[in-house]
Chain A
Amino acid sequence: MRTYLTFLLRCFRLSFVGDYRYYAWMFFLTVLVLFGINAYCKQLVYGLATTGMTDQVSWGFYIANFTFLVGMAAAAVMLVIPVYIYRNRELHDLVIFGELFAVAAIIMAMLFVTVDLGRPDRFHHLLLRFNFPVSMLTWDVLVLNGYLLLNLHICGYLVYCAYRKREPSKYVYIPFVFVAIVWAISIHTVTAFLYSGLGGRPFWNSAVVAPRFLASAFAAGPAFLILTLSALKHFTTYEVPAKAFMTLRNTVAIALSISMFLLGSEAFTEFYTNSSHVASATYLFLGLHGRTALVPWIWSAIALNSLAMVLLYLPLSRKLPVLQAACVMLIVGIWIEKGMGMIVPAFIPTPLGEIVEYLPTRNEILVTVGIWAAGLLIYTILVRITVPVLSGRLTYDQPFVAARDPALFAPHPSSEGVVR
């Protein structure tokens, strides 16, 4: 127990150690977080009218980001499957970074839901009267918290074992890994069911919502992992094998293709039938009654996704810079398509046919950026801790200073660099 507390204390100290680039990055994120807190305090005082939401469009930027991030969290499993099911040893070390990313993404998603609530001071009502299993939101609460705990357990256990220089016991974490694979699929399916079960919103009331969510998540998540691993490769001495990038690239390419196909399928069903249900899709893609605010967004998203897909299939994207560019493009594209392009059009027109458009306000954007910065802050700290531990620099039997060694991540002479 004492060792564990020391470990936690050392983790805390370690997050304040770094070179000037690290400090610049963390300061930048902290500034954004503080602006976000400030904007959220204003929202607490004046109510959700500080956002751009209205009775007509009652879910907006916050829920859009929530949906996107739940998908990203689910996609950590895309690294777990090749390693644990297909026994791809080389990627083994990287599973932790995927799961740490899932932790950060889930925390961000839960923060987004919290800032969207009108009465966050009544959070405890969820514990007292829980409309399970009828309300899909209750399912979402359960699966998101469960997923967070699962990943914290797996990562925490593996990292702590490396810190203690112990071989991790298979029985303590392998079963949870397999549960996490299924659970990851379920978190995004439950989130999709939140939307697809509503008969009053024909834009959402389609069976293709859940598959679309999963496909786009499994494209954007690994893409984000590619970017994270590139950052690791660039800023630390941790070597990321090229095979990791290529496996992820293949995953992203296939998932993106499925996602684009499902988008096409949705568009065909809506526009060919041309019933009154097509109103929301018309608003999104073509504009409705002269209101076209979302049209440039969705077409940019489609353009970005298409370009990214083409790039990913070309051998050109075997080069890391091109791969990174494709990943950035498709993350932005999927963020638009799944976030604003999925949430907002369902409210336009309203069930009574009224058209009121939505645009996030400055306050809303500040809160959103603040939460993203908080998530990146958490992820940076988690990585900042994990890399020295896994590389053997920070173990229970060494003084703390070893972790603060110059060059940051150089291998310790006495360590074999054993990584689980």
Chain B
Amino acid sequence: MNQPTTFQPATTPTRAPGWLGWLLPIGFVCLAAVLFNSSTSSDIPLAPSRTFDKSTLIVGPRRVAMQDPPTVQIEGRPQSCNGCHQIFTSSHPGGAALNFHQDLVLHHGLNNRCVNCHDTADRQKLTLRDGATVTFAETPQLCAQCHGTVYRDWQRGTHGKTLGSWVTESQAQRRLSCNECHDPHSPKYPSYVPLPGPNTLRMGDQSAPVHPEHSGKQNPLQRGFNKPASDRNNKITPDGVHP
């Protein structure tokens, strides 16, 4: 610890010219000027905030269920079903398609007859398979005949939509009935136009779809899905595309 450290002999320093000393203040002033004038903008690549039609975000049932007793609009006025159907017969011997109810498209699985669900004697009722009738307010019972598992889930609350409150059996809670989401004649849920995807800061070009690497090893489960999605997957469905 006591060893002295030796030093190399001192070298004679070179003399620098006198004006060199003024470079320092000049340099600082130039720097001040540069800094003061440097841009005060942020250079942040901010995308303009997107707006879209807020009406797509309205909370409520997707469709208005038929009320009980049911009515139809004929020439702008509501008419009860039996008003016509107890006067006129509804047979169409070899004839054309429906004269009325032409806005309806029947696309309900294997159902090909109106009277699979509608009572022939009383059009203000719906008919069950054993001949019993239910009112339009009890529509879910009709659906339950064929869609028993879904009905069971709906009763529990695991299928379908609940509005208002999560508090069970509160006044505000409202479970939607089957035909407040599904059109009973074409019950398949319509396709939607998706709302815009994310547009976060600096996320870069995401337009190219992500392709899994084809390295020779393929997931056996994916074998059947190798074909690209065909048009049929995105066709406009019969009851239109919901906005």
Q: Which residues of A contact B (CB under 8 A)?
A: 19-20, 23, 27, 31, 34-35, 38, 42, 45-47, 49-50, 52, 54-56, 89, 92-93, 237-239, 289-290, 354, 356-357, 361-363, 390-391, 406-411, 416-420
Cβ-neighbour of A420 out of B1, B6, B211 (below 8 A): B1
User: Interface size on B (CB < 8 Å)?
Assistant: 35
Question: By the criterion CB–CB under 8 Å, are A49 and B203 in contact?
Answer: no
| B8: Cβ under 8 A from any A Cβ | yes
Closest Cβ of chain A to B199, distance in Å, is 12
Q: Which residues of B contact A (CB under 8 A)?
A: 1-13, 16, 20, 23-24, 27, 31, 35, 38, 40, 42-44, 46, 200-204, 208, 210-211, 213
**What are 23 A-B contacts with C-beta separation under 8 Å?**
A20-B16, A31-B27, A31-B31, A34-B31, A35-B35, A42-B40, A42-B42, A49-B201, A52-B202, A54-B201, A89-B3, A92-B1, A93-B5, A238-B7, A239-B8, A362-B43, A406-B13, A407-B10, A407-B13, A409-B7, A410-B9, A417-B6, A420-B1
- Assembled-state Cα–Cα distance A237/B1 (Å): 20
Which residues of chain A are within 8 angstroms of B35 by Cβ–Cβ distance? 34-35, 38
Which residues of chain B are within 8 angstroms of A419 by Cβ–Cβ distance? 4-5
Question: By the criterion CB–CB under 8 Å, are B7 and A237 in contact?
Answer: yes
- Assembled-state Cα–Cα distance A270/B16 (Å): 59
Question: By the criterion CB–CB under 8 Å, are A50 and B44 in contact?
Answer: yes
- Assembled-state Cα–Cα distance A153/B203 (Å): 47
Q: Which 6 residue pairs spanning A and B have beta carbons closest together?
A: A410-B10, A407-B10, A46-B42, A49-B44, A20-B16, A237-B7
- Assembled-state Cα–Cα distance A290/B43 (Å): 27
- Assembled-state Cα–Cα distance A89/B46 (Å): 60
Cβ-neighbour of A55 out of B3, B12, B16, B200 (below 8 A): B200
Question: By the criterion CB–CB under 8 Å, are A23 and B24 in contact?
Answer: yes
Given the interface contacts A56-B200, A289-B211, A357-B204, does A407 sit within 8 Å of B12 by beta carbon?
yes
Identify whether the interface residues of B are mostly helix, strand, loop, or mixed. Answer: loop
Chain A residue at smallest Cβ distance from B42: A46
Question: By the criterion CB–CB under 8 Å, are A27 and B24 in contact?
Answer: yes
Question: By the criterion CB–CB under 8 Å, are B1 and A54 in contact?
Answer: no
Cβ-neighbour of A50 out of B1, B2, B6, B43 (below 8 A): B43
Question: By the criterion CB–CB under 8 Å, are B1 and A408 in contact?
Answer: no
- Assembled-state Cα–Cα distance A329/B212 (Å): 37
Which residues of chain B are within 8 angstroms of A239 by Cβ–Cβ distance? 5-8
Cβ-neighbour of A416 out of B4, B44, B46 (below 8 A): B4
Cβ-neighbour of B204 out of A38, A46, A50, A356 (below 8 A): A356
- Assembled-state Cα–Cα distance A361/B4 (Å): 50
Chain B residue at smallest Cβ distance from A416: B4
Which residues of chain A are within 8 angstroms of B23 by Cβ–Cβ distance? 27
**A-B contacts besides A45-B42, A238-B5, 9 pairs, CB < 8 Å:** A20-B20, A27-B27, A31-B27, A54-B200, A55-B201, A92-B1, A93-B5, A391-B7, A406-B10
Closest Cβ of chain A to B177, distance in Å, is 36
Question: By the criterion CB–CB under 8 Å, are B203 and A56 in contact?
Answer: yes
Chain B residue at smallest Cβ distance from A349: B210
Which residues of chain B are within 8 angstroms of A406 by Cβ–Cβ distance? 10, 13
- Assembled-state Cα–Cα distance A419/B12 (Å): 24
- Assembled-state Cα–Cα distance A23/B31 (Å): 16
Which residues of chain B are within 8 angstroms of A408 by Cβ–Cβ distance? 13
- Assembled-state Cα–Cα distance A239/B197 (Å): 65
Question: By the criterion CB–CB under 8 Å, are B5 and A356 in contact?
Answer: no
